[in-house]
Structure 1
Protein backbone atom coordinates (compact mmCIF):
# COMPACT_ATOMS: atom_id res chain seq x y z
CA UNK A 1 0.00 0.00 0.00
CA UNK A 2 1.21 3.48 -0.79
CA UNK A 3 0.97 5.04 2.65
CA UNK A 4 1.28 3.03 5.81
CA UNK A 5 -1.89 2.38 7.74
CA UNK A 6 -1.99 2.20 11.54
CA UNK A 7 -1.86 -1.22 13.17
CA UNK A 8 -5.19 -2.77 14.09
CA UNK A 9 -5.68 -2.80 17.87
CA UNK A 10 -6.66 -6.01 19.64
CA UNK A 11 -10.38 -5.31 20.00
CA UNK A 12 -13.39 -7.41 19.21
CA UNK A 13 -15.52 -4.70 17.55
CA UNK A 14 -14.75 -1.44 15.79
CA UNK A 15 -17.10 1.46 15.02
CA UNK A 16 -17.34 2.82 11.50
CA UNK A 17 -15.29 5.86 12.54
CA UNK A 18 -12.50 3.68 13.92
CA UNK A 19 -12.47 1.53 10.79
CA UNK A 20 -12.39 4.64 8.60
CA UNK A 21 -9.25 5.80 10.43
CA UNK A 22 -7.64 2.35 10.41
CA UNK A 23 -8.23 1.91 6.68
CA UNK A 24 -7.71 5.46 5.43
CA UNK A 25 -11.17 5.93 3.92
CA UNK A 26 -14.23 7.96 4.87
CA UNK A 27 -17.28 6.40 6.56
CA UNK A 28 -19.54 7.01 3.56
CA UNK A 29 -17.11 5.02 1.42
CA UNK A 30 -17.38 2.09 3.83
CA UNK A 31 -21.18 2.22 3.64
CA UNK A 32 -20.97 2.23 -0.16
CA UNK A 33 -18.56 -0.71 -0.19
CA UNK A 34 -21.03 -2.71 1.93
CA UNK A 35 -23.47 -2.46 -0.96
CA UNK A 36 -20.87 -3.43 -3.56
CA UNK A 37 -19.01 -6.23 -1.75
CA UNK A 38 -21.32 -8.89 -0.34
CA UNK A 39 -18.52 -10.34 1.81
CA UNK A 40 -18.53 -7.15 3.86
CA UNK A 41 -21.35 -7.44 6.39
CA UNK A 42 -20.76 -5.61 9.66
CA UNK A 43 -22.99 -6.37 12.59
CA UNK A 44 -25.68 -3.75 13.16
CA UNK A 45 -26.99 -2.88 16.59
CA UNK A 46 -29.31 -0.21 17.99
CA UNK A 47 -30.03 2.58 15.58
CA UNK A 48 -28.32 0.68 12.73
CA UNK A 49 -24.89 1.38 14.23
CA UNK A 50 -22.27 -0.70 12.47
CA UNK A 51 -19.72 -2.77 14.34
CA UNK A 52 -16.89 -4.31 12.34
CA UNK A 53 -14.81 -7.29 13.42
CA UNK A 54 -11.08 -7.78 12.91
CA UNK A 55 -11.45 -9.91 9.77
CA UNK A 56 -13.71 -7.26 8.21
CA UNK A 57 -11.12 -4.54 8.85
CA UNK A 58 -8.57 -6.73 7.06
CA UNK A 59 -10.99 -7.24 4.18
CA UNK A 60 -11.58 -3.49 3.90
CA UNK A 61 -7.84 -2.93 3.74
CA UNK A 62 -7.64 -5.53 0.98
CA UNK A 63 -10.48 -3.82 -0.92
CA UNK A 64 -8.78 -0.44 -0.46
CA UNK A 65 -5.52 -1.87 -1.82
CA UNK A 66 -7.28 -3.33 -4.87
CA UNK A 67 -9.13 -0.10 -5.66
CA UNK A 68 -6.65 2.61 -4.72
CA UNK A 69 -3.23 1.02 -5.10
CA UNK A 70 -3.73 -1.60 -7.81
CA UNK A 71 -6.22 0.43 -9.86
CA UNK A 72 -9.06 -2.10 -10.07
CA UNK A 73 -12.60 -0.99 -10.84
CA UNK A 74 -15.33 -1.88 -8.34
CA UNK A 75 -16.38 -4.81 -10.53
CA UNK A 76 -12.79 -5.96 -11.03
CA UNK A 77 -12.04 -5.65 -7.33
CA UNK A 78 -15.16 -7.64 -6.49
CA UNK A 79 -14.05 -10.45 -8.81
CA UNK A 80 -10.46 -10.35 -7.58
CA UNK A 81 -11.57 -10.36 -3.94
CA UNK A 82 -13.72 -13.42 -4.62
CA UNK A 83 -10.71 -15.14 -6.21
CA UNK A 84 -8.50 -14.25 -3.24
CA UNK A 85 -11.09 -15.44 -0.72
CA UNK A 86 -11.50 -18.74 -2.60
CA UNK A 87 -7.72 -19.20 -2.84
CA UNK A 88 -7.29 -18.49 0.90
CA UNK A 89 -10.12 -20.85 1.73
CA UNK A 90 -8.82 -23.62 -0.53
CA UNK A 91 -5.34 -23.28 0.98
CA UNK A 92 -6.76 -23.52 4.51
CA UNK A 93 -8.96 -26.48 3.61
CA UNK A 94 -6.18 -28.39 1.84
CA UNK A 95 -3.85 -27.74 4.78
CA UNK A 96 -6.49 -29.02 7.18
CA UNK A 97 -7.36 -32.05 5.05
CA UNK A 98 -3.75 -33.05 4.37
CA UNK A 99 -3.63 -35.07 7.59
CA UNK A 100 -7.16 -36.42 7.41
CA UNK A 101 -8.63 -39.13 5.22
CA UNK A 102 -12.22 -39.16 4.08
CA UNK A 103 -14.18 -41.92 5.76
CA UNK A 104 -14.95 -44.85 3.53
CA UNK A 105 -18.37 -44.60 1.93
CA UNK A 106 -18.58 -40.83 2.36
CA UNK A 107 -18.00 -38.35 -0.41
CA UNK A 108 -16.74 -34.81 0.02
CA UNK A 109 -19.60 -32.31 -0.03
CA UNK A 110 -18.36 -30.68 -3.27
CA UNK A 111 -18.69 -33.94 -5.22
CA UNK A 112 -22.18 -34.84 -4.06
CA UNK A 113 -24.81 -34.54 -6.78
CA UNK A 114 -26.31 -31.10 -7.29
CA UNK A 115 -29.95 -30.81 -6.38
CA UNK A 116 -30.73 -27.66 -8.34
CA UNK A 117 -27.74 -27.45 -10.63
CA UNK A 118 -25.21 -24.79 -9.69
CA UNK A 119 -27.24 -23.44 -6.78
CA UNK A 120 -25.99 -26.34 -4.65
CA UNK A 121 -22.36 -25.51 -5.43
CA UNK A 122 -22.92 -21.87 -4.48
CA UNK A 123 -24.53 -22.92 -1.19
CA UNK A 124 -21.53 -25.12 -0.39
CA UNK A 125 -19.16 -22.24 -1.14
CA UNK A 126 -21.16 -19.88 1.07
CA UNK A 127 -21.14 -22.39 3.93
CA UNK A 128 -17.41 -22.97 3.50
CA UNK A 129 -16.73 -19.22 3.53
CA UNK A 130 -18.78 -18.76 6.68
CA UNK A 131 -17.01 -21.66 8.40
CA UNK A 132 -13.60 -20.20 7.51
CA UNK A 133 -14.68 -16.83 8.90
CA UNK A 134 -15.86 -18.51 12.11
CA UNK A 135 -12.56 -20.38 12.38
CA UNK A 136 -10.65 -17.12 11.95
CA UNK A 137 -12.74 -15.52 14.69
CA UNK A 138 -12.20 -18.43 17.05
CA UNK A 139 -8.46 -18.49 16.44
CA UNK A 140 -8.05 -14.73 16.94
CA UNK A 141 -6.25 -14.09 20.21
CA UNK A 142 -5.90 -10.51 21.45
CA UNK A 143 -2.35 -9.53 22.29
CA UNK A 144 -3.31 -8.19 25.71
CA UNK A 145 -6.13 -9.68 27.72
Structure 2
Protein backbone atom coordinates (compact mmCIF):
# COMPACT_ATOMS: atom_id res chain seq x y z
CA UNK A 1 0.00 0.00 0.00
CA UNK A 2 1.30 3.46 -0.79
CA UNK A 3 2.92 5.43 2.00
CA UNK A 4 1.25 8.62 0.81
CA UNK A 5 -2.00 7.96 2.69
CA UNK A 6 -2.41 10.01 5.87
CA UNK A 7 -2.40 8.57 9.38
CA UNK A 8 -5.85 7.46 10.61
CA UNK A 9 -6.74 9.47 13.74
CA UNK A 10 -8.07 7.80 16.86
CA UNK A 11 -11.77 8.44 16.40
CA UNK A 12 -14.80 6.21 16.75
CA UNK A 13 -16.61 7.38 13.59
CA UNK A 14 -15.59 9.07 10.34
CA UNK A 15 -17.77 10.88 7.80
CA UNK A 16 -17.62 9.93 4.14
CA UNK A 17 -15.60 13.08 3.41
CA UNK A 18 -13.03 12.22 6.06
CA UNK A 19 -12.75 8.64 4.79
CA UNK A 20 -12.36 9.88 1.22
CA UNK A 21 -9.37 12.02 2.31
CA UNK A 22 -7.87 9.26 4.48
CA UNK A 23 -8.11 6.70 1.67
CA UNK A 24 -7.35 8.87 -1.35
CA UNK A 25 -10.64 8.27 -3.19
CA UNK A 26 -13.70 10.38 -3.93
CA UNK A 27 -16.94 9.98 -1.91
CA UNK A 28 -18.87 8.68 -4.93
CA UNK A 29 -16.28 5.89 -5.27
CA UNK A 30 -16.90 4.90 -1.64
CA UNK A 31 -20.65 4.76 -2.26
CA UNK A 32 -20.05 2.59 -5.31
CA UNK A 33 -17.74 0.26 -3.39
CA UNK A 34 -20.47 -0.22 -0.77
CA UNK A 35 -22.60 -1.76 -3.52
CA UNK A 36 -19.78 -3.97 -4.80
CA UNK A 37 -18.23 -5.17 -1.51
CA UNK A 38 -20.75 -6.62 0.94
CA UNK A 39 -18.21 -6.48 3.78
CA UNK A 40 -18.33 -2.68 3.62
CA UNK A 41 -21.38 -1.52 5.60
CA UNK A 42 -21.06 1.91 7.20
CA UNK A 43 -23.60 2.93 9.79
CA UNK A 44 -26.25 5.30 8.45
CA UNK A 45 -27.89 7.95 10.57
CA UNK A 46 -30.62 10.46 9.84
CA UNK A 47 -30.61 11.80 6.33
CA UNK A 48 -28.74 8.64 5.25
CA UNK A 49 -25.44 10.16 6.43
CA UNK A 50 -22.73 7.51 6.48
CA UNK A 51 -20.43 6.96 9.44
CA UNK A 52 -17.48 4.62 9.03
CA UNK A 53 -15.60 2.90 11.83
CA UNK A 54 -11.83 2.42 12.03
CA UNK A 55 -11.89 -1.15 10.71
CA UNK A 56 -13.95 -0.01 7.71
CA UNK A 57 -11.37 2.67 6.88
CA UNK A 58 -8.69 -0.04 6.96
CA UNK A 59 -10.85 -2.25 4.74
CA UNK A 60 -11.31 0.59 2.24
CA UNK A 61 -7.55 1.06 2.16
CA UNK A 62 -7.18 -2.68 1.48
CA UNK A 63 -9.75 -2.45 -1.34
CA UNK A 64 -7.96 0.59 -2.76
CA UNK A 65 -4.66 -1.27 -2.64
CA UNK A 66 -6.13 -4.29 -4.44
CA UNK A 67 -7.74 -2.16 -7.15
CA UNK A 68 -5.26 0.66 -7.69
CA UNK A 69 -1.87 -0.73 -6.65
CA UNK A 70 -2.19 -4.47 -7.36
CA UNK A 71 -4.35 -4.07 -10.49
CA UNK A 72 -7.27 -6.30 -9.49
CA UNK A 73 -10.64 -5.85 -11.15
CA UNK A 74 -13.67 -5.21 -8.93
CA UNK A 75 -14.60 -8.87 -9.30
CA UNK A 76 -11.06 -10.01 -8.58
CA UNK A 77 -10.78 -7.79 -5.51
CA UNK A 78 -14.15 -9.05 -4.27
CA UNK A 79 -12.92 -12.64 -4.66
CA UNK A 80 -9.61 -11.86 -2.92
CA UNK A 81 -11.44 -10.29 0.05
CA UNK A 82 -13.75 -13.30 0.19
CA UNK A 83 -10.69 -15.60 0.28
CA UNK A 84 -9.29 -13.59 3.18
CA UNK A 85 -12.61 -13.81 5.02
CA UNK A 86 -12.78 -17.57 4.49
CA UNK A 87 -9.19 -17.96 5.65
CA UNK A 88 -9.95 -16.07 8.85
CA UNK A 89 -13.05 -18.21 9.46
CA UNK A 90 -11.03 -21.39 8.96
CA UNK A 91 -8.34 -20.21 11.37
CA UNK A 92 -10.98 -19.36 13.99
CA UNK A 93 -12.60 -22.78 13.59
CA UNK A 94 -9.23 -24.45 14.08
CA UNK A 95 -8.47 -22.29 17.12
CA UNK A 96 -5.43 -20.74 15.45
CA UNK A 97 -6.41 -17.10 15.96
CA UNK A 98 -6.76 -15.42 19.33
CA UNK A 99 -6.92 -11.90 17.94
CA UNK A 100 -6.89 -10.93 14.28
CA UNK A 101 -3.29 -10.52 13.18
CA UNK A 102 -1.68 -12.00 16.28
CA UNK A 103 -0.84 -15.35 14.64
CA UNK A 104 1.70 -13.72 12.32
CA UNK A 105 3.48 -11.66 14.98
CA UNK A 106 5.93 -13.16 17.43
CA UNK A 107 6.46 -11.97 21.00
CA UNK A 108 9.82 -10.42 20.12
CA UNK A 109 8.45 -8.14 17.40
CA UNK A 110 5.03 -7.28 18.83
CA UNK A 111 4.24 -3.83 17.48
CA UNK A 112 0.97 -1.94 17.72
CA UNK A 113 1.74 -0.22 14.42
CA UNK A 114 1.72 -3.60 12.66
CA UNK A 115 -1.47 -4.69 14.40
CA UNK A 116 -3.21 -1.48 13.31
CA UNK A 117 -2.80 -2.47 9.66
CA UNK A 118 -4.75 -5.71 10.13
CA UNK A 119 -8.15 -5.55 8.45
CA UNK A 120 -11.07 -7.20 10.21
CA UNK A 121 -13.22 -8.68 7.48
CA UNK A 122 -15.55 -11.01 9.34
CA UNK A 123 -17.42 -9.88 12.43
CA UNK A 124 -20.24 -12.41 12.61
CA UNK A 125 -19.75 -13.78 16.10
CA UNK A 126 -20.22 -11.76 19.30
CA UNK A 127 -16.78 -12.57 20.74
CA UNK A 128 -15.09 -11.29 17.60
CA UNK A 129 -17.12 -8.07 17.71
CA UNK A 130 -16.21 -7.59 21.37
CA UNK A 131 -12.50 -8.19 20.71
CA UNK A 132 -12.58 -5.73 17.83
CA UNK A 133 -14.18 -3.12 20.07
CA UNK A 134 -11.53 -3.64 22.76
CA UNK A 135 -8.80 -3.49 20.12
CA UNK A 136 -10.12 -0.19 18.75
CA UNK A 137 -10.28 1.29 22.25
CA UNK A 138 -6.69 0.22 22.91
CA UNK A 139 -5.56 1.97 19.74
CA UNK A 140 -7.43 5.11 20.80
CA UNK A 141 -5.75 5.00 24.22
CA UNK A 142 -2.35 4.44 22.60
CA UNK A 143 -2.86 7.44 20.33
CA UNK A 144 -3.97 9.64 23.22
CA UNK A 145 -0.94 8.60 25.25
CA UNK A 146 1.41 9.29 22.34
CA UNK A 147 0.05 12.85 22.14
CA UNK A 148 0.71 13.40 25.85
CA UNK A 149 4.20 11.92 25.82
Q: If the length of structure 2 is used for normalisation, what is the TM-score?
A: 0.69
In structure 2, runs of 5+ residues without a counterpart are: 99-121
Matched with 1:87 is 87
Displacement over 3 Å in runs of 4+ = 88-93
Matched with 1:36 is 36
1:16-27 pair list within 5 angstroms: 16-27=16-27
CA contact (8 A) 1:55 1:137 kept: no
CA distance in 2, matches of 1:12, 1:35: 23
Pair 90,36 (structure 1): closer, same or farther in 2 beyond 3 Å: same
SS in 1 for 2:51: strand
Matched with 1:75 is 75
CA contact (8 A) 1:16 1:52 kept: yes
Pair 65,40 (structure 1): closer, same or farther in 2 beyond 3 Å: same
For this pair of structures, how many residues does the alignment match?
Answer: 114
CA shift digits 1:55-101 (9 cap, x unpaired): 000000000000000000001000001112222344454233xxxxx
1:115-130 pair list within 5 angstroms: 129-130=123-124
CA contact (8 A) 1:67 1:74 kept: yes
Pair 134,90 (structure 1): closer, same or farther in 2 beyond 3 Å: farther
Matched with 1:101 is none
CA RMSD for the aligned pairs?
1.9
1:134: Cα distance to partner? Answer: 4.3
Which has the higher relative contact order, 1 or 2, with Cα contacts under 8 A spaced 6 or more apart?
2
